[in-house]
Copies of this chain bind each other. A is one copy, B any other.
Amino acid sequence: MSKLHISYNQIHDSIRQSVERFGINENFKPDLMIAIGGGGFIPARILRTFLHKRNNRNIPIQAIGLSLYEEIEIAQSQKEDTPSAPPQVTKTQWLNFGASHSEISLLGRRILIVDEVDDTRQTLAFAVEELLKDIEAEEIRHGMKKGESKTEMGVFVLHNKDKPKKRELPPKIMEHYYAAVEMPDQWLVYPWDALDIFEHTEQADRHE
């Protein structure tokens, strides 16, 4: 598979352009970002620069950590009755609900989940599913019916790869699905992984 190097400046500017192109500030008006670490940290921090402030404050970024372990081929073939077993996703960090010193509420918020790449969509689907569960549980705790809090959720990724997805996101979420760049199924090399950033940038500038 051919590699494609992306520079920091290309990423920064594609985020700027996409906020305008999708009208994210006008149409979705996010008031909370949830960055999936470590890939979502850099896009979320850059994106914050281009999102309108709320009450003269930057849009807060909360972080969650997920590890996706694809079951290896051999393990798959041994479980013949569950050929399409879902991958193991582990939460390595989550939001602090109910923690005495730092409780946040998701109810009524306009949440933008941020990650670097939408590849098989499994990590995103897991994150969305778990956050929807959290929202529902919080609604119940507040004596509300499911959906009564009108909490909205969207997704922002730097790159969406044009390939068959292993999982889908709910249609309601896909109404606010923003990919800064749509691209073929190429091997992306992000600048934060570069050992020599100057060589990397030259390759990116030549669109290699």
Kindly identify which residue among B45, B94, B192 contacts A99, using a CB–CB cutoff of 8 Å: B94
A27–B61 Cα distance when bound, in Å, is: 32
A192: chain B residues at CB < 8 Å are: 12, 42, 45-46, 48-49
How many residues in A have their beta carbons less than 8 Å from beta carbons of B?
Answer: 42
Looking at chain A's contact residues, the main secondary structure is mixed
The reply to whether A35 and B46 contact each other, CB–CB distance below 8 Å, is no
Task: Determine whether A178 belongs to the interface, using a CB cutoff of 8 Å to chain B.
Answer: no
> What 1/0 mask marks residues of chain A from 96 to 114 whose CB sits below 8 Å from any chain B CB?
1001011010000000000
Chain B residues with Cβ under 8 A from A48's Cβ?
38, 192
A195 within 8 Å of B (CB atoms): yes
Query: Which residues A95-147 have CB closer than 8 A to chain B?
Result: 95-96, 99, 101-102, 104
Supposing A92-B102, A195-B49 touch, asked if A37 and B61 sit within 8 A by C-beta, the answer is yes
Query: Contacting A42 at CB < 8 Å: which of B41, B65, B197?
Result: B41
Question: Given A92-B104, A96-B96, A192-B49, does the pair A41, B61 have CB atoms closer than 8 Å?
Answer: yes
Question: What separation, in Å, do the CA atoms of A96 and B103 have in the docked complex?
Answer: 11
A180 at the interface (CB under 8 A from B): no
Asked whether A9 lies within 8 Å of B197 as measured between CB atoms, the reply is yes
Binding site for B on A (CB under 8 A): 7-9, 12-13, 16, 35, 37-39, 41-42, 44-46, 48-50, 58, 60-63, 65, 91-96, 99, 101-102, 104, 191-195, 197-198, 201
